A and B are shown apart, each in its own frame.
Chain A
Amino acid sequence: MDNVQILTGNQAAALGAKLCQVQVVSAYPITPQTSLTEVLSHYIEGGELQAEYVRVESEHSAMTVCIAASTAGARVFTSTSSHGLLYMHEQLHWAAGSRLPIVMCCINRGVGAPWSIFNDQQDSIAQRDTGWIQIYCRDNQEIIDTVIQAYRIAEAVYVPVMVCYDGFVLSHTTMPVRIPDERDVRAFLPSYQPHTILNSQEPRNINPVIFPWRRMDAEGCLRDGYMELRYKLQKALEEAKPVIGKACSDYTAIFGRVHEGLFWRYRLDDADALLIGMGSLATEATMAVDRLREQGVKAGVLGVRLYRPFPREEIKNCIGQRKALLIFEKDISYGYEGALCSDVKAALYGSEVKAPVHNFICGLGGRDVKAEELADAVKTSLKMIGAGNLKQQTIWLNCRTEKSNDGQSF
């Protein structure tokens, strides 16, 4: 019989890490992540999880502990949000460059200044280029399942994985969650095989100063230079896509739940207008699509699950000959447009796709985004497109300055 529990996103993530039998946890509390690490410390202190909880004075140190423990062969877990993630930034590069299969939950929160504890996705988007795999979850069931999948993916390709989900909207909201059976998780997830076994009989320098060119080491063995190692990291991310797809289909075979690997589709088959988004915002878009369909608008949702590596070909093929692309996101690349919008458009370059693009920046710093607002925004956009205005728009949804959106009402 199914074991269903009513859990917050943070409780689901903690339980996922426990089911993966993580051996070292190191984290520093920050809203809205705190209740995740509290649950894990409770598991460890109560003897339910045989792991070491390493207390640290900062997120930078938390990631450093994870790097050291992962290098020594332990399966490690951490989690953070917003400023904590930004404080880790240097060590995020270090973890990816060391090719360590660390799994971290990023509970998405806006970034100061000014202070905000509320949800948007600026924090993890700002870490896009650190060499981590990034997966965005749409609900609490997907969180627990994705944490388990993340270890399988990370340990197969030796790239760390960031499991991102929206602060408060998911982290502190309870939903029924089916709890995977511990034995099934063991069957799905083989034990961690580190790429390097540290051994006191055979000491090594890890990540020494490396020169731009390839050269012989002291033993006459040709060693990669900086660029070769960076190229291998890039290849590992590119080649992770089929591994992620396989992890998802194997997961479905064992647990019965489908989380489409790279992105998910909602009422998409005959849709002319495509709403594209990530995380709970894309979930909200499914409700907007239901409203639009009732009003005769053929709309559907493409929910991006895997943001890095970006599923370029797959998204391009899915977009095909749709008539309008409406990209909703909770981040902004200042001075240009939403980061997801840029990536989607880049995927279409040189293809036959000519659909007009409207980019919606919304929900920054926790501003509420309602399904009817998304539906209304889509209708306004489609009206503009229908009137022959095909120029790209970047619209700040529900932003009330006098000059926002060139006087158009969104």
Chain B
Amino acid sequence: MIDNNISAMCKPAPGEAGKTGDWRDMRPVIDHTKCTPYVKNKPACFLCWLYCPEGVIRDTIPVEIDLDYCKGCGICAEECPMGAIAMVAEGKQDG
């Protein structure tokens, strides 16, 4: 009988490496009144979605960030041409 746990392995699935959002100490907060897709109600811009290295931003209207897995790197805030994303320290009030 071979031990199923003889070496480390898992099936590819969200969360197989844990909820990596808890690594974060800065949280992205979107001001939708400045965000192009929301303001124009058109699928446009989405640079945050394009640049996010974790793939946790959805190109929807409004744009959504999955905070379960966002590590808080701040690239989305850096790249947003409208300045619609602010990085807020965890534990503090939004904006």
Residues of the B chain whose Cβ atoms lie less than 8 Å from the Cβ of A229: 5, 7-8
| Contact indicator A217/B11 (Cβ below 8 Å) | yes
Q: In the complex, which residues 8-24 of chain B have their Cβ closer than 8 Å to any Cβ of chain A? A: 8-18
Q: Check: A402 CB closer than 8 A to any chain B CB.
A: no
| Contact indicator A224/B5 (Cβ below 8 Å) | yes
Which of A207, A209, A219 touches B9 (beta carbons < 8 Å)?
A207
Q: Check: A136 CB closer than 8 A to any chain B CB.
A: no
Q: In the complex, which residues 202-239 of chain A have their Cβ closer than 8 Å to any Cβ of chain B? A: 202-211, 215, 217-219, 223-224, 228-229, 232
Which of B7, B11, B14 touches A195 (beta carbons < 8 Å)?
B7
| Contact indicator B17/A208 (Cβ below 8 Å) | yes
Known: A209-B17, A211-B18, A215-B18. A204 touches B6 (CB 8 A): no
Q: Check: A97 CB closer than 8 A to any chain B CB.
A: yes
Closest to A205 in B: B10
Residues of the B chain whose Cβ atoms lie less than 8 Å from the Cβ of A99: 6-7
B13 to chain A, nearest CB (A): 3
In the complex, what distance in Å separates the CA atom of A188 from the CA atom of B95?
Answer: 72
- Taking chain B's interface residues, is the majority helix, strand, or loop, or is none over half, making it mixed? loop
| Contact indicator A208/B13 (Cβ below 8 Å) | no
Q: Check: A158 CB closer than 8 A to any chain B CB.
A: yes
Residues of the A chain whose Cβ atoms lie less than 8 Å from the Cβ of B16: 205, 208, 217-218
In the complex, what distance in Å separates the CA atom of A99 from the CA atom of B6?
Answer: 7
| Residue total for A at the interface (Cβ-Cβ under 8 A) | 25
| Contact indicator A204/B5 (Cβ below 8 Å) | no
| Contact indicator B11/A206 (Cβ below 8 Å) | no
In the complex, what distance in Å separates the CA atom of A206 from the CA atom of B10?
Answer: 7
| Contact indicator B8/A219 (Cβ below 8 Å) | no
Q: Check: A33 CB closer than 8 A to any chain B CB.
A: no
Closest to A211 in B: B18
| Contact indicator A206/B13 (Cβ below 8 Å) | no
| Contact indicator B10/A196 (Cβ below 8 Å) | no
Residues of the B chain whose Cβ atoms lie less than 8 Å from the Cβ of A108: none
A57 to chain B, nearest CB (A): 27
| Contact indicator B14/A205 (Cβ below 8 Å) | no
Residues of the A chain whose Cβ atoms lie less than 8 Å from the Cβ of B6: 99, 158, 195-196, 232
Known: A158-B6, A224-B8. A219 touches B13 (CB 8 A): yes
| Contact indicator B10/A204 (Cβ below 8 Å) | yes
| Contact indicator A98/B7 (Cβ below 8 Å) | yes
Q: Which of B6, B7, B16, B18 has the most CB of A within 10 A?
A: B7
A215 to chain B, nearest CB (A): 7
Residues of the A chain whose Cβ atoms lie less than 8 Å from the Cβ of B10: 204-205, 208, 217-218, 223
A8 to chain B, nearest CB (A): 36
| Contact indicator B12/A203 (Cβ below 8 Å) | yes
Closest to A225 in B: B8
Query: What are the 7 closest A-B residue pairs judged by CB atoms, nearest first?
Result: A218-B13, A224-B5, A218-B16, A99-B7, A217-B10, A218-B15, A210-B8
Enumerate 8 A-B pairs (CB-CB under 8 Å) in ascending A order. A202-B11, A208-B17, A210-B8, A211-B18, A217-B11, A217-B16, A218-B15, A223-B5
Question: Measuring CB to CB, which residues of chain A are less than 8 angstroms from any residue of chain B?
Answer: 97-99, 158, 195-196, 202-211, 215, 217-219, 223-224, 228-229, 232
